[in-house]
Structure 1
């Protein structure tokens, strides 16, 4: 495991500078600074920017890994490879970089927290404490037991022990609550350094950081709310009851990283840079390798969901000699679109992610070279609240659950229809409550929701119409909420959808015939680098079907 500090920022970086080069012109030089000399405000922007890249657009990223696993992506027939993505037969080298890169990033936050607490930067330390919880949560949810209590100690411990996943979960909640308390204490400290432009998420607004910490707690508590442990389930209920009334509330906008991405080499939005175009305007290497699955396309088309036109370009099939345009995906686990009529494989043209093949496209999945990178979508937050409401974990009941459910869909429409040139931070609760037809996506949202009215195509559709969703004991309308959340997270925050699939069994994505053992995996394997350097502590007997403690659905 990469446990030695690896500080990824330019040696010339100073907080007084003003150009976008500050946070994006990255030169890896671990020897330029030491933990004892670097100021927390120097590292923060780069650490946040790296988190965004690891989460969404890096090679590898959590988003790309989960987009395959969760049934959003398949491959084109113009490229070979992608064997593990297609067969779900993972090895210890598959996406191994996620483990190492996340720990490298956590080292940066650890330096910020450690130095900030002793050098007059308590707000910076609190932000780092929150982001450490964010990063460790990503690791636990894909690997289960990991180094935690003895991790990030540098040369002091190069073979850290592995802590139990459920114990780490419990401490992540402690850390998030502690970070909120740290921010409150710093507010009354006249000597505390304020956070400024180095905060490329909230611009130094510490109230928003507290809201983000609460939203992360909700994500954590829902994830472990249906375990096989009665003690954990009861503790989750107690903590959720307290969290619902937290004075700082939850996020009210998409949480995004914006370090002033620019159309320069190494400075573009990472998702765009990997799957759309380079700064020179040439197609990115992977631009033509991934296409949507027919499964995910059908979820929009079959429910008359207009978002499909914003997410994908139209493809075409020649059916019985007639060129028939439409949204054409690939079969999950295979590389060619499904046959319709007498169409042959050579006459199928698959759909593409909107933005990947068109510089003029607005909105969609791949928004643009200078668009911010999400860390958490407001849509996820509203669906999380809806689930807590309908399952009785919050006290809002069915009426509040339906409102949160509709707000989740509305936030998704606004996100996917909003042009890249528009600040994503503008998607907030006031926008949801007072949106007009001039707000991007609202006209389409109104059309979609109208289809659930009497005589509408979705009037009796329990995957769209909240009132039609079947009650399933204590779970209530959980399935419809998770289903619509799946559509909202598509290829943007796919790892959250993948975690939901393992946690709840929803949606029931088809298992491709190519899948190893005919079933979906439950986790990633520990990377070979960790097995070879920390073998005495790496858990034995782990396979890709070894479940994380919160995964109790077969």
Structure 2
């Protein structure tokens, strides 16, 4: 019985779909609970199936991120404790199970329903499969970047295999093979989206079900190509991908008409919150980030922002109640007793509650213009186009600043007090400061470190998984961490291990990856 239940989760059964919440079910019926489903309904259910990990939620921020990625990136300050660099089993297991039993399961059911259509109906509804797969690949990359090799090609096929759970136990795919498949398909989608013809009736249904881009095909093209740019950049230094990455990145950036990317905050790819009476909201952000002092600022980020006059400082953070308006971050190298005293003393800065954690209209961030600008800056730097790299770098900073001030305009909370507006002049002063100025960086490596630092500040706790991946890939910024001599894992890990259920129930397939299932194995793109 236990093994059957595991397969329902790890292999992902039709009966374990994500359309479970009543508010959502009122609009989109659970495909597993109705006699006849449709591609349209499966598409909506699929997009909803991982919203706990897209919109800021209590479980994701408190259980999964608080003691792991947010600390590994020093986006927060925390009190040191033993075994703090070993990721908790609850967070790893829940994220893994959600990906397979909800997200992958719903995607496979969409594929199954689509496969049963006639050729004409498949052609009519092709846009649903393209959009779903773009979204699926976005979140697949995140899981690969956490674990490395994962079950993928064979995952979620219990329904397709007629309920044969032994046959449905999924084999592990190599991480680089998954990247190759995603890049191949996304390139095809980017071309297909330029010529696809969606009938008016289908387009109306697509617009209704698509709560990410509201049926806007131009935004789906930009999402697709921006995701390609992210994935290609992640592997740009990996020998097996180096030439491909350079060629395809150049192809994207040199042909904006054919391969448009996100270039403006108005085109950011995100799940927007419109009605707090639905399940699409950020109500869980408050307890998820704030509980147990998970919103305390880290010293490295605060010091950099203070020193260089970062306009985002007052939008992203707020001074402690007893700090007399001064922004202070918690030093990770202090002893635990001193840290505890500081945390309780009210002098440490916090993540701005009105901009972030108490902003119930905070969107689910997928990709945005600032991130893309920093990817472009890196690409142009590697290609020897210093002027182009500088322009993209400064553009990314400006878009990041404006993004955080825009987030504040969404908020229904004013706990942190009024936010003084920024200006183009303030942003210009910031980009001219000593620790930010492109022209003061003497080498390409130094300029790459500038880009890495801006990515780190921009991502912070808002895009935490991208933050950790980019820090591992770029090896910058470099942080000092307290050494945990009481544990074998003395410093932050390079990856997450697999949940214990894999060894217990997917034993034969897990055995193929067991030798590398530790916290010190690097993801294939982490080249030192």
The Cα shift of 1:344 comes to: 7.2
The Cα shift of 1:26 comes to: 9.3
Match of 2:376 among 372, 385, 394: 385
Matched, 1:202 2:213: yes
Question: What's the secondary structure of 1:508's corresponding residue?
Answer: coil
Decide which structure has greater helix share. 2
**Backbone CA RMSD of aligned residues:** 3.3
Deviations 1:136-184 (A, max 9, x none): 1111101100112212212524311111111110001112123334544
**TM-score w.r.t. structure 2 length?**
0.81
Match of 1:115 among 113, 116, 121: 113
Matched, 1:176 2:186: yes
Question: What's the secondary structure of 2:456's corresponding residue?
Answer: helix
The Cα shift of 1:494 comes to: 1.6
Matched, 1:268 2:281: yes
**TM-score w.r.t. structure 1 length?**
0.78
Deviations 1:484-527 (A, max 9, x none): 11111111112111111111111112222338544321100001
Which residue is 1:214 aligned to?
225
Task: Give the distance between the partners of 2:343 and 2:91, measured in 1 at CA.
Answer: 30
Task: Give the distance between the partners of 2:420 and 2:398, measured in 1 at CA.
Answer: 8
Which residue is 1:240 aligned to?
249
Does the 8 A contact of 2:82 with 2:484 survive in 1?
no
Task: Give the distance between the partners of 1:54 and 1:468, measured in 2 at CA.
Answer: 39
Which residue is 2:467 aligned to?
497
Which residue is 2:391 aligned to?
403
Does the 8 A contact of 2:75 with 2:298 survive in 1?
yes
1:364-443 map, 5 Å: 364-366=355-357, 368-392=359-383, 397-422=385-410, 443=422
Which residue is 1:32 aligned to?
33
Task: Give the distance between the partners of 1:441 and 1:346, measured in 2 at CA.
Answer: 27
Give the stretch that moved more between structures: 327-336 or 463-472.
Answer: 327-336
User: Structure 2, unaligned stretches of length 5 or more?
Assistant: 1-9, 162-166, 412-418
Task: Give the distance between the partners of 2:114 and 2:127, measured in 1 at CA.
Answer: 8
Deviations 1:451-505 (A, max 9, x none): 555xxxx2xx2x3001111214xx5721101111111111111211111111111
1:120-519 map, 5 Å: 120-155=124-159, 156=161, 157-184=167-194, 186-187=196-197, 192=202, 194=204, 195-227=206-238, 229=239, 231-246=240-255, 247-252=258-263, 253-258=267-272, 260-262=274-276, 266-269=279-282, 272=285, 274-275=287-288, 286=291, 288-315=293-320, 325-332=325-332, 347-355=345-353, 361=354, 364-366=355-357, 368-392=359-383, 397-422=385-410, 443-444=422-423, 446-451=425-430, 453=432, 458=433, 461=434, 463-472=435-444, 475=445, 477-514=447-484, 517-519=489-491
Change in CA separation of 1:267 and 1:237 when aligned onto 2, cut-off 3 Å: closer
Task: Give the distance between the partners of 1:421 and 1:183, measured in 2 at CA.
Answer: 33
Does the 8 A contact of 1:212 with 1:250 survive in 2?
yes
Task: Give the distance between the partners of 1:121 and 1:201, measured in 2 at CA.
Answer: 18
Change in CA separation of 1:239 and 1:451 when aligned onto 2, cut-off 3 Å: closer
Task: Give the distance between the partners of 1:547 and 1:293, measured in 2 at CA.
Answer: 25
Matched, 1:528 2:526: no
Which residue is 1:280 aligned to?
none
The Cα shift of 1:386 comes to: 0.5
The Cα shift of 1:421 comes to: 4.7
Task: Give the distance between the partners of 1:414 and 1:123, measured in 2 at CA.
Answer: 32
Task: Give the distance between the partners of 1:208 and 1:452, measured in 2 at CA.
Answer: 30
Task: Give the distance between the partners of 1:344 and 1:126, measured in 2 at CA.
Answer: 51
Change in CA separation of 1:451 and 1:163 when aligned onto 2, cut-off 3 Å: closer
Which residue is 1:15 aligned to?
none
Matched, 1:47 2:46: yes
Question: What's the secondary structure of 1:537's corresponding residue?
Answer: helix
Change in CA separation of 1:260 and 1:174 when aligned onto 2, cut-off 3 Å: same
Change in CA separation of 1:261 and 1:83 when aligned onto 2, cut-off 3 Å: farther
Question: What's the secondary structure of 1:256's corresponding residue?
Answer: strand
Which residue is 2:60 aligned to?
60
Give aligned pairs, total. 483
Which residue is 1:547 aligned to?
522
Task: Give the distance between the partners of 1:260 and 1:420, measured in 2 at CA.
Answer: 15
The Cα shift of 1:309 comes to: 1.4
The Cα shift of 1:189 comes to: 5.9
Change in CA separation of 1:442 and 1:273 when aligned onto 2, cut-off 3 Å: closer
Task: Give the distance between the partners of 2:53 and 2:335, measured in 1 at CA.
Answer: 26
The Cα shift of 1:414 comes to: 0.9
The Cα shift of 1:288 comes to: 4.2
Does the 8 A contact of 1:367 with 1:420 survive in 2?
no
